[in-house]
Amino acid sequence: METDFLVIGAGVAGLRAAIEASEAGRVLVLTKDRLTESASEYAQGGIAVALSDDDLVSLHEQDTIQAGAGLCDPEAVRVLVEEGPPEIQKLIGWGVEFDKEGGRLEFTQEGAHSRRRILHAQGDSTGREIARTLFQKARTIPNIRFRSFSAVADLIERGGEIHGALAWDEKERRLIPIWARAVLLATGGLGCAYWETTNPDVATGDGVAMAWRAGAAIGDIEMVQFHPTALFLEGAPRFLLSEALRGEGAYLRNAAGERFMERYDPRAELAPRDIVSRAIVAEMHRMETGPVYLDLTHLPADFAARRFPRIYSTCLHYGVDLAKQPAPVHPAAHYAMGGVWTDRDGQSTLPGLFAAGEAACTGVHGANRLASNSLLEGLVFGARAGAAMRGRERPPEAEAAPPAREATPLPANAVFNLRRLAWRYAGIERSGEGLREGLEELRKLEPHFHHDLARNSRQGFEADNLYAVISLIARCALAREESRGAHYRSDFPEAVPELCKHSRIALGGSVEFV
């Protein structure tokens, strides 16, 4: 197959980039699951933008940098907050229905924001509404085609440049080379590297792993944000209970029914996510029991159902009526601040390879993403990457696909063991001793995860990608001998000024701080 621009992933970043790139040629958008399955679909909290009368772009910039714990790229943050408002206006023009009150946009507040600047759609379905609108817009553009259920196995690298990707066709059971002038990785996050995660099953770090194998630099990959409040019920998915719940007045209580957050931070429930997550873990250790509980019962009886209909109905489905009882919650892996190292136009260190959204590391989130900046990043940097891709030249002549081989079987419980390992050694709290032990266990497992395109299944490719990503997280976490933002080392509990730098790692190299 051959196209001008190949976009891998159909979340907000991928769709926005596809729309922008389509002005200069044909765009093929690949997804490995149904077209509407992406992390964007699950984004409840909203989208942050300085559009209200009492807000300023400079205040949004200041809040983002403060949350980032010294690692934000100031120029990237300025791009985000300045280009965000016109992107939102464009979305509204395309049909996004943000919630309104009295005919005016309704803004809410979340942790670490100094103003009410969070826009919502249908209360807690903001990502779904934005993705729906972008998908409908993309479907009206003749230059954009979609192909679902195609796991991408690897990138096609020739002479240090990227010229396409190898997609695994599950129906035909073969690898298909797709040649393109430029490739965009919009593959989302890596939450499924961890045992507890709010991410959908597709979030297996594919973009990061493929880019790393091809030789691209990976940045700040140790910076994984753990959301403090995922629904914690046996038999239920780790459904995210939005930070907006705490922003609107929900309390956190321990097993004895006591509020405890002020013991750990004066901002209590509105402290940044990393602080709240560590506080919950510390409180469970102190009480020698878990989980903790998110309590809305002191709010008006109809509040949860009216303001957060999706969250309310999901909890009710699993037997928790938020109007009458607190919900058991536990931290879970939620968002990767690091990823494929890019400039502010989404260009990676490999010519022809771009990345946007959660798969990318633009430096905009630093060491700790400010709540509700992720959808905005997908829009702003997706648009910039799509525009930059238009300048790439045509690829060389197509080559034959590699021959199919016998599948390499996965050991029983292979992925289970990987995710448990990551949660134990490279999770919310880390230590040098634990990380070294985890890396030694990974080395023993390496023969089972040697990526050679012989997996012949989506699950096999994902397993190899998870192994690569977990290894990268552990290596970079071990090298960063300090605590900063979402990265917490019990043996180095303070931030070290000399390490206020970005970690970078590429294939065959060691961790560098730049």
Catalytic positions are 273
Report d(CA 305, CA 299) in Å as an integer.
Answer: 11
Neighbours of 406 (CB within 10 A): 7
Question: Could you give the strand order of the β-sheet that contains 118-119, starting from the edge strand earlier in sequence?
Answer: 47-48, 118-119, 107-108
Between CA 385 and CA 389, with CA 386 as vertex, the angle to 5 degrees is 85
Backbone angles phi, psi at 300, to 5 degrees: -50, 145
Contacts of residue 84, Cβ cutoff 8 Å, sequence gap at least 6: 48, 49, 50, 60, 376, 379, 380
Within 8 A by CB and 6+ apart from 385, the residues are 13, 17, 20, 184, 342, 345, 346, 347, 354, 355, 356
Residues 177, 30 contacting (CB under 8 angstroms): no
Contacts of 400 (CB under 8 A, 6+ apart): 177
Closest by alpha carbon to 359, among 152, 144, 65?
152
Distance CA 50, CA 245 (A): 21
User: Which residues are registered as beta bridge partners of 293?
Assistant: 253, 328
Ramachandran angles phi, psi of 416, nearest 5°? -55, -50
What's the token pair of residue 475? 């290596």
Q: Phi and psi for 332 in degrees, rounded to 5? A: -150, 150
